[in-house]
Amino acid sequence: MSDTIAAVATAPGGPIGIIRVSGDGAARAVSAVFQPKNGGSLVDASPHKLVYGTLHSRKGAVLDCCLAAWMRAPHSYTGEDMAEIQCHGSPAVLGEALAALFANGARQAGPGEFTKRAFINGKMDLSGAEAVQELVTAQTAQAAQNASAQIAGKVGGTVQALRDSLVEMVAHFHAVVDFPDEDIDPFLFEQAQEILHRAAGTLYSLAESYERGRVIRDGVPCVILGRPNAGKSSLLNALLGCERAIVTDQPGTTRDVIEETVRVGPVLLRMLDTAGLRDTDDPVEKIGIERALATANGAAMILAVFDGSDMLSDEDLMVIARSHGRRAIAVINKSDLPDTLDLAKIRRHFDHIVSVSAKTGEGMDALTKLIPSMVGLDGAVFDGSIITSARQAAALARAAERCEEALFAAQSGMTPDAVVMDAEGAIAALGEVTGQNVTEDVISKIFENFCVGK
Ligand code: GDP
C-alpha cells in the first residue's frame, strides 16, 4: 500500500503546467478532479493516451479544459497507478487543481519522491535514479546523453553483472570453506583470479571516469586573462557566437558575479569575472588586470590572450607568470593583422598555443577543438559510462580495491576465506551503487536534492 502523492512537475511561469499523481489512491483523486469530455472516467480510458476533458476545483467549478493521461501500475514511471494532467500553467489553475487532489486523498509529494518510488518499486536501480537529476540539470547535450543512458541502466547493468559474477564465485568458495577437509580445486582459484582481475579493471576505469564526469556535470571554471585591448571581450563574444550562451543572473548578487556559461562541444565553460571584461569607463578597471589575475586562482582553465599585432608588454609578462604551471591556452589574437609578437617567448611558457582572429573568426575552430582535449573530453563517448556521482565513484573505487585484495589473496595461495572476505566487501560496495546495499538515510539524502515533482 502506498499513499498518494501529487505535485506540479513544471517550473513556474510556463504556459503549460504538468501535475503528477501517483499511488494507490491516484484513480480516486484524479477521477474527482478530471472529467473526460466524452464521458466516463480517465481511468477507464486507454492508458498512456492523452484524453481531453475538464479540470475541476474542490467545489466542482471548471478550472480549465485540458489533457490528462492515465498509467496503470506497474506500467508507469513510479511503478504505481499514476496520472499526469497537462493544464494551463497559471499558479491559480495549478494551485486549485492540486488543492482538489489533496481534498481527494492525495498529499504533496516531497523532493524526488516520484523517482524514489520508481527506485523502491524496481523500475530503476539507484544509479539510474540518481541520473534522473543529472538529466534534469544537464547543461550540454553530451551530459544529457550520458545521464539518459544511465537511467536506462548503463551503470546499473554493468555493476549488476559484475556483482552477480562475484556472488557466484563467493558461493563456490563458501561450498569449499564449509567442507574444509576437501581439497580445493585449483581450477576454482584460476577462475576466481580471472573474475577478480576483470572486475577490478572495469571498476577502476568506471571510478576514474568521475574526473570527466565532474567536468560534464559542473563545467569548467575558466578565466580570460590579457592586457587591455588584447581582445578578451572579443574572444568571449566569439566563443559565445560559436555556441549558444546562457547568462545566469544569480539571485541576490550583483552584476559582478553574473556568470556567463559557454558551451564548447561537450565542455561547459563557466566564465569567471566576465563583468571585468565588459566595456567600462572606470579607469581603474580599464588599466588594471589585477582583479582578473586574482580571479585566475579559482579557475580550472586559463585562456591567456595576447595581441599578436603588438610587442610583448609588462602586462603580458604578468599574464604569462600567472598562467605558468596552470591548465592554460595561449590565444594569439588578431591573426588578421601583421604579426609582431615574439612567439618564441610564449612557446617557452605554454604547451598549447592557438592563433585566432576574434574579429574574423579565423582559428576559432582550432580553439574550440582544443578546449575539450584540455579537460579529457576529446573523443569521449557519452554512453552512460562516465560516472557523475561522487558517491558512486567512491563506492566503485572501494569495490575495485577489494577485488584487487581478493585477487592478491587468490594469487598468493591464501586460505579461501581471505578471498571470500574481500570479495564480499566488493559485493557490498557494488550494492551501494545499485541500491541493494544502502541505508534509508542514504536514500533519503540522495532524493532530498531532487526537484519536487520529479
Ligand atoms: P579587451 O580590452 O582585451 O577586452 O579587448 P577588446 O575585445 O575590447 O578589443 C580591443 C580592440 O581590439 C577592439 O577595438 C577590438 O575591435 C579589437 N580586436 C579584438 N580582436 C580583434 C581581432 O581579432 N582583430 C582585429 N583586427 N581587431 C581586434
pLDDT tens per residue across span 139-161: 999 999 999 999 999 999 999 99
- Domains in the chain, start-ordered, CATH in brackets? 4-109 (3.30.1360.120), 129-209+386-447 (1.20.120.430), 225-374 (3.40.50.300)
pLDDT exceeds 70 at position 289: no
pLDDT, position 277: 60
Pocket test for ligand 1, best of 227, 229, 362, 367 (most atoms within 8 A of CB): 229
Pocket test for ligand 1, best of 224, 234, 310 (most atoms within 8 A of CB): 234
Q: Whose CA is nearest to atom 25 of ligand 1?
A: 334
pLDDT, position 451: 84
pTM of the model: 0.83
Give residue 451's identity as a one-letter amino acid code.
C
pLDDT exceeds 70 at position 180: no
pLDDT, position 183: 65
pLDDT digits (tens, 9 = 90+) for 384-440: 999 999 999 999 999 999 999 999 998 887 778 889 999 999 999 999 999 998 999
Q: Vertex 267, ends 265 and 270: CA angle to 5°?
A: 130
Mean pLDDT (the chain, rounded): 90
What nine digits make up the cell of 18? 504538468
Q: Give the binding-site residues of ligand 1, using a 6 Å CB cut-off.
A: 226, 228-234, 277, 333-334, 336-337, 357-359
Q: pLDDT band for position 452 (50/70/90)?
A: confident
First to last CA, the chain: 21
pLDDT exceeds 70 at position 363: yes
Q: Whose CA is nearest to atom 17 of ligand 1?
A: 231
Number of the ligand 1 atom closest to the C-alpha atom of 358: 23
Question: How large is the average pLDDT for residues 22-38?
Answer: 97
Q: pLDDT band for position 242 (50/70/90)?
A: low
Residue 397 and residue 325: Cα distance in Å, rounded? Answer: 29
Question: How large is the average pLDDT for residues 23-34?
Answer: 98
pLDDT, position 244: 39
pLDDT exceeds 70 at position 251: no
How many Å lie between the centroid of ligand 1 and the Cα of residue 333? Answer: 8
Q: Yes or no: say if 129 and 119 are a contact pair by the CB < 8 Å rule.
A: yes
How many Å lie between the centroid of ligand 1 and the Cα of residue 260? Answer: 19
Residue 236 and residue 242: Cα distance in Å, rounded? Answer: 10
Residue 353 and residue 349: Cα distance in Å, rounded? Answer: 10
Strands 106-108 and 4-8, by their bridges, are parallel
Number of the ligand 1 atom closest to the C-alpha atom of 337: 26
Q: Whose CA is nearest to atom 15 of ligand 1?
A: 231
Question: How large is the average pLDDT for residues 189-213?
Answer: 94
pLDDT exceeds 50 at position 255: no
Q: Where do we find the cell 565542455?
A: 267
Max CA distance (Å), the chain? 88
166 Cβ contact list (under 8 Å, min separation 6) = 195, 196, 199, 403, 423, 426, 427, 430
pLDDT, position 184: 64
pLDDT, position 249: 38
Which region among 31-40, 83-92, 413-422 has the lowest average model confidence (pLDDT)?
413-422
Q: pLDDT band for position 286 (50/70/90)?
A: low
How many Å lie between the centroid of ligand 1 and the Cα of residue 231? Answer: 4
Residue 167 and residue 174: Cα distance in Å, rounded? Answer: 10
Buried/exposed 273-304: b ≥16 CB within 10 Å, e otherwise:
bbbbbeeeeeeebeeebeebbebbeebbbbbb
* Higher per-residue confidence, 183 vs 269: 269
pLDDT exceeds 60 at position 254: no
Q: pLDDT band for position 278 (50/70/90)?
A: low
pLDDT, position 449: 86
Residue 360 and residue 405: Cα distance in Å, rounded? Answer: 58
pLDDT, position 257: 39
Task: Please give the share of the chain, as a percent, with pLDDT higher than 90.
Answer: 75
Query: Phi then psi for 247, rounded to 5 degrees?
Result: -110, 120
Residue 137 and residue 450: Cα distance in Å, rounded? Answer: 10
Q: pLDDT band for position 175 (50/70/90)?
A: confident
Residue 388 and residue 369: Cα distance in Å, rounded? Answer: 23
* Higher per-residue confidence, 213 vs 251: 213
pLDDT, position 174: 81
Q: pLDDT band for position 107 (50/70/90)?
A: very high
Q: Where do we find the cell 493516451?
A: 49
pLDDT exceeds 90 at position 24: yes
pLDDT exceeds 60 at position 448: yes
The burial of 156, by beta-carbon neighbours within 10 Å (0-12 exposed, 13-18 middle, 19 or more buried), is given as: buried
Q: pLDDT band for position 296 (50/70/90)?
A: confident
pLDDT exceeds 60 at position 250: no
Q: pLDDT band for position 1 (50/70/90)?
A: confident
Q: pLDDT band for position 454 (50/70/90)?
A: confident
The burial of 352, by beta-carbon neighbours within 10 Å (0-12 exposed, 13-18 middle, 19 or more buried), is given as: middle
pLDDT exceeds 50 at position 253: no
Q: pLDDT band for position 2 (50/70/90)?
A: confident
Q: In what order do the strands lie in the sheet with 353-355?
A: 245-248, 259-264, 267-271, 220-225, 301-307, 328-333, 353-355
